Amino acid sequence: MSRIGKKPVELPAGVSASVSGQTIEVKGPKGTRSFSATDDVTITVDGQSVSVEPRGKSKRARQQWGMSRTMVANLAQGVTDGFKKELEINGVGYRAQMQGNTLKLSLGYSHDVNFEVPEGVTVTAPKPTQVIVEGIDQQLVGQVAANIREWRKPEPYKGKGIKYVDEYIFRKEGKKK
């Protein structure tokens, strides 16, 4: 049994949800998001809460039950608060700056890396060593942050590279003479 699926998703004030078939659409102050559930679950909207129920007792229906409930909760959070990933750049001469819709990264390569920011997310660089990725789609925000981090992952000896703010880098000891 899904424990997370049993709990209905409470919609905050100013957020409305509508269901048509297997698609739920959530509208809020930051925008509109939708999610298409599989045929294994039933989504119902009653007042200011959305509940998800499985159709049957199959293993797949129970898996989709908890996942669908979490997706609906993420839609509600995205259109009210949005999602945010913070990246930190460590290293001598490593820096980032925004130029229009392009994030310019100096990461120790012979050239600067120009990262085009996709539609649906906003990327800011308040300090040269800090990058903030924000948006209403959790998957897109996480993917953009991962793509930026991919250019120079943190290395374990000196910790140089791009890391998430809450990430811990396991440090190794260098060679000894």
Q: What CATH number corresponds to the domain at position 89? A: 3.90.930.12
Q: Residue holding tokens 């060679």?
A: 175
**132 and 94 in one domain?**
yes
Single out the residue in 18, 45, 80 at which a domain terminates.
Answer: 80
Q: Would you say residue 177 lies in a domain?
A: no
Q: Would you say residue 128 lies in a domain?
A: yes
**Res 142: pLDDT:** 96
**100 and 46 in one domain?**
no
**Res 73: pLDDT:** 94
Q: Would you say residue 140 lies in a domain?
A: yes
Q: Would you say residue 135 lies in a domain?
A: yes
**Res 65: pLDDT:** 93
Residue numbers in the chain where pLDDT is lower than 50: none
**106 and 68 in one domain?**
no
Q: What is the CA radius of gyration of the chain?
A: 21
CB 148 within 8 A of CB 133: yes
**Res 47: pLDDT:** 86
Q: Containing domain of residue 53, as a range?
A: 3-80
Q: Would you say residue 95 lies in a domain?
A: yes
Catalogue the long-range contacts made by 114-120 (C-beta closer than 8 Å, 24 or more residues apart): 115/147, 115/148, 115/151, 117/144, 118/144
**67 and 12 in one domain?**
yes
**102 and 45 in one domain?**
no
Q: Would you say residue 176 lies in a domain?
A: no
Strands (E), the chain: 9-10, 16-20, 23-28, 31-36, 41-46, 49-54, 83-90, 95-99, 102-106, 113-116, 121-127, 130-135, 161-164
**120 and 102 in one domain?**
yes
**Res 5: pLDDT:** 87
The proportion of the chain whose per-residue pLDDT surpasses 90, expressed as a percent, equals 88
Single out the residue in 33, 62, 80 at which a domain terminates.
Answer: 80
CA distances from 121 to 41, 59, 125, 137 (A): 30, 35, 13, 8
**Res 1: pLDDT:** 63
CA dihedral 46, 50, 53, 59 (to 10 degrees): 170
Single out the residue in 63, 80, 97 at which a domain terminates.
Answer: 80
Burial class (CB in 10 A: 0-12, 13-18, 19+), 172: exposed
**98 and 29 in one domain?**
no
Q: Would you say residue 149 lies in a domain?
A: yes
**73 and 24 in one domain?**
yes
Number of domains in the chain: 2
**136 and 68 in one domain?**
no
Q: Would you say residue 116 lies in a domain?
A: yes
